Chains A and B, each alone.
Chain A
């Protein structure tokens, strides 16, 4: 129930160790990542304090408190309708785009409250990027333009655009596959490539946090594996929050895992603990497949 009693320093070490063990055990991610040196990258900590989210009268997220550590992958699991997507959409204020939806509470990016009245929502979304469930490249744009879209849409002028597009595509592990057809439509790629294109588009605007809302649910296992490898890679530079229906995926990619049920946080701990020795009986029932 309690998100975190340890100090951030010990948490980081402990969870990295756990993550490495789980990586070896699962033998899915190709190579164990070197531990990030503290203070590298632009990744930031997100602290959520008594977050409530509503759809009209429907109370979807009920007073959550949790912390997403920088350079860590945090997975949110839980059955459909438990509020995990809603919670993640509150982190970059996409929740309020839905008519009738509202949220209250604090979401701190390091120490800035993104819900503060003085904060520009556009700046929040630039700092907190998002990858969606369904790959959604812009249908009117080429592969190149899709990656450049983030920069163009946010009004940045075209200095070294080519370089930026290439490094983003490389960052998303897509460059080798598309370098000869940058001018072809983005929607002409395969589903898995499209999703990596969307990840490239997201990292091109240089966010500090990346939210992923079931990024692999529309993909086949091979494409899923590629995305998961990518997540392990991206962790070095970003704070990553991933919502997933797939518990094996959470076990494979996440350092820490949160289990949600009907809008409440049931348990938030190191991934290893959630899947092997959870404190709450409901967590155990869920991860062992007794419901959900």
Chain B
């Protein structure tokens, strides 16, 4: 019997143990920075949280309370919200074109190539682009929240498009054929069959793009800038969490640096929430 099915040799047993150990250690090492980041965020950030932290604007005074980050939270929500409204319809539109109409045509492949290039463009370049075209150029006024949104939208556009293309490609061709064979015009097939089937995936892709944009500092620095006061007017200069953190960590006062940690924790939790929602929506999807 041992000749036919020999037991595992001691050598293989040893190799197995060693390799499992190595893989485990490497995984631990890879996770370590993530754990440390979260640990520091919580240990340093929670201390900064208070009612005032969420309900007052940065005071800018050297003495007394430094104030909270209300303006930054409101600004981030507004800027990213408007950016989403700008980027998601366009991004999904481009994805629809690529999957449903362009397919393998030359133009579609050129678009795909540029979308890929755009994905790799550093975020600060989008900020610079808006800075040069909409702020230095006369006629559009100075720094404004909507210009920050536009910079973020440019950043999100390729992400939404790419994710959308992947999801739309997952919609089985059989469904399109079934709808076409019923005598449906193509636009109705797209609207009534393809989009509803792909919807959970499209939402997930968009939310991940939102999460990425929400953490960007560079595109906002020279478009929406850093201010103290809360505003709901997108034509005004507007504060944002990443910009506030960028500003605060450079200050000499410990209390202000602590505020940066509090802002960072707030931002991370906001993004975590979005990612969580994205996961839940994805779970409802019938596409695999």
Contacts and interface: CB of A to CB of B under 8 A. Distances in A.
Interface of A: 92, 94, 97, 99, 122-127, 129-130, 132, 134, 136, 138-140, 149-150, 152-155, 187, 198, 201-202, 205
B178 A136 contact: yes
B183 A99 contact: no
Interface of B: 103-104, 172, 174-185, 188-189, 192-193, 196-197, 199, 286
Given A125-B182, A139-B175, A153-B193, 11 more contacts: A92-B181, A94-B180, A97-B180, A125-B184, A129-B182, A138-B175, A138-B193, A138-B197, A140-B199, A201-B178, A201-B182
Contacts of A140: 193, 196-197, 199, 286
B203 to A, nearest CB: 14
Nearest to B195: A140
Contacts of A122: 183-185
A70 to B, nearest CB: 20
A234 B10 CA distance: 69
B178 A132 contact: yes
Nearest to A198: B178
A150 B181 CA distance: 9
B175 A150 contact: no
Contact of A154 (B177, B178, B184, B199): B184
Contacts of B174: 132, 134, 136
Nearest to B191: A153
Contacts of A205: 182-183
A16 B177 CA distance: 33
B192 A139 contact: no
A187 B286 contact: yes
A153 B189 CA distance: 7
A276 to B, nearest CB: 35
A202 to B, nearest CB: 7
A92 B184 CA distance: 13
Contacts of B103: 99
B103 to A, nearest CB: 6
Contacts, number: 79
B177 A126 contact: no
B279 to A, nearest CB: 20
15 contacts: A94-B180, A99-B103, A99-B104, A127-B183, A129-B181, A132-B174, A132-B177, A134-B174, A140-B193, A149-B182, A150-B182, A153-B188, A153-B189, A153-B193, A202-B182
Contacts of A152: 192
Give the secondary structure class of B's interface: helix
B197 to A, nearest CB: 5
Contacts of A126: 182-183
A145 to B, nearest CB: 10
A94 B177 contact: yes
Contact of A149 (B104, B176, B179, B185): B179
Nearest to A211: B181
Contacts of A124: 183
A130 B176 CA distance: 13
Q: Which of B172, B175, B177 has the most CB of A within 10 A?
A: B177
A99 B173 CA distance: 12
A94 B174 CA distance: 12
A154 B180 contact: no
A223 B81 CA distance: 51
A247 B182 CA distance: 28
B179 A138 contact: yes
A120 B182 CA distance: 14
Q: Which of A94, A136, A202 has the most CB of B within 10 A?
A: A136
A138 B178 contact: yes
Contacts of A92: 181
A158 B188 CA distance: 16
Contacts of B196: 140
Given A140-B196, A153-B193, A125 B180 contact: yes
B102 to A, nearest CB: 11
B258 to A, nearest CB: 49
A125 B181 contact: yes
A243 B4 CA distance: 50
A153 B179 contact: yes
B181 A130 contact: yes
A154 B193 contact: no
